[in-house]
């Protein structure tokens, strides 16, 4: 994965051209947003954190947006496990550290907030990790859906728990409930009555 921005904690330059397009997915409509350097954002269109497209240009033919769309289609179809589209998210130094760590997770690998905190060198920062994960502007491609509670509970997800459950299922992790307290089901236990 190419992560174009090392750190960009300033607001986007208002003169910088920003392009967007919407795409259908099995889990609902997504909006993809690109700067000239890379993918700036990917949100489900019903997410609370979806920015206004007021100053963006609708562009179905943008090469970065087209690459992101193609790679997401392949991922949902089970034909891709990693992404190659260049990324250019806006965030603080700490958020970028967390997002880089998320990008390093293998397909299907789950991590707790505490484990992620230790990975980025903030062993007591699980709550700060939660804030950075919750502000991830590039859903699925920066795989914040792979972050779960220490007890394997689903916890939260900006796209909603039903989507998190579905995304984890696409990667081989089963949850039979869509509540934040739902715990991962080990192989063969999904049908057990307890």
Indicate which residues carry an active-site annotation.
144
**Helix-strand-coil split of the chain, %, nearest 5:** 30, 15, 55
In this structure, the strands spanning 30-34 and 39-44 are antiparallel
Check residue 184 and report its DSSP letter: P
Name 41's bridge partners: 33
Tokens of 44: 């489900």
- Whether 142 and 102 have beta carbons less than 8 Å apart is answered as yes
Residue 78: Cβ-neighbour burial (10 angstroms; 0-12, 13-18, 19+): exposed
């Amino acid at each position: 994965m190419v992560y174009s921005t090392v750190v960009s904690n300033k607001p986007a330059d208002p003169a910088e051209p920003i392009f967007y397009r919407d795409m259908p997915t099995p889990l609902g409509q997504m909006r993809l947003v690109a700067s000239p350097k890379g993918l700036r954002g990917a949100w489900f269109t019903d997410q609370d954190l979806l920015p206004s497209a007021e100053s963006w240009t609708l562009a179905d033919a943008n090469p970065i947006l087209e690459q992101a769309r193609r790679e997401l289609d392949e991922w949902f179809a089970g034909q891709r496990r990693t992404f190659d589209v260049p990324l250019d998210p806006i965030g603080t130094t700490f958020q970028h550290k967390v997002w880089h760590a998320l990008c390093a997770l293998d397909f299907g690998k789950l991590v707790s907030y505490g484990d992620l905190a230790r990975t980025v060198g903030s062993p007591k920062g699980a709550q700060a990790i939660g804030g950075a994960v919750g502000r991830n502007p590039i859903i699925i491609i920066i795989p914040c859906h792979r972050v779960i509670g220490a007890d394997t509970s689903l916890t939260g997800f900006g796209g909603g728990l039903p989507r998190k459950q579905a995304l984890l299922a696409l990667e081989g992790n089963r949850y039979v409930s869509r509540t934040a307290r739902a715990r991962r089901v080990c192989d063969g236990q999904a049908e057990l009555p307890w």
